[in-house]
Amino acid sequence: MEARLNPFTNPVLGKVFKHIIAAGKVLEGSTLPASTQELVKLRASQINGCGFCTDMHFKDAVHAGESAERLNLVAVWREATVFTDAERAALELAEEATRIADAAGGVPDEVWANAAKYYDEDQLGALVGVITLINAFNRGNVMLQMPAGDYQPGQFG
């Protein structure tokens, strides 16, 4: 399987992706736990059906020390006992924001308030950033039909 267009060799899309990647670098320096960021990226990617990002964030999380058990249960986090209340709040926010078109009025106040119980303003800003960026990547990769399975942790620096 081959992508419809290579985002790294296309002169216009390559620049767009570089800016999105640069925005992601800002989040690496935030106080939002890296494990939470990976869980959120994985869940949004599952919802959006982005095989490339699902593969990437599963492998990056394993490489960073996350357990396969927890990653396997991300799709069913509500029923799983392996996530903290803070992680559950982040996953709920990610789901609501990713499915924003399904809910008139956007993300419910209760969902935001629940996340705000566990994360300070900077961390909430990072959560919004992570969710926004992964959804942008997911949509681009799904459109391009980026193949999944070959990603290696650290492949993009």
- DSSP, residue by residue, 124-135: HHHHHHHHHHHH
CATH node for 32-144: 1.20.1290.10
Q: Exposed (0-12), middle (13-18) or buried (19+): which is 132, by Cβ within 10 Å? A: middle
In this prediction the pTM is 0.94
Q: Give Cα 53 to chain centroid, integer Å.
A: 8
CB 39 within 8 A of CB 90: yes
Spell out the per-residue pLDDT of the chain, length 157, in tens.
Answer: 799 999 989 999 999 999 999 999 999 899 999 999 999 999 999 999 999 999 999 999 999 999 999 999 999 999 999 999 999 999 999 999 999 988 778 899 999 999 999 999 999 999 999 999 999 999 999 999 999 999 999 887 6
Q: Where are the alpha helices (DSSP H) in 29-146?
A: 34-48, 51-63, 68-72, 85-98, 109-118, 121-144
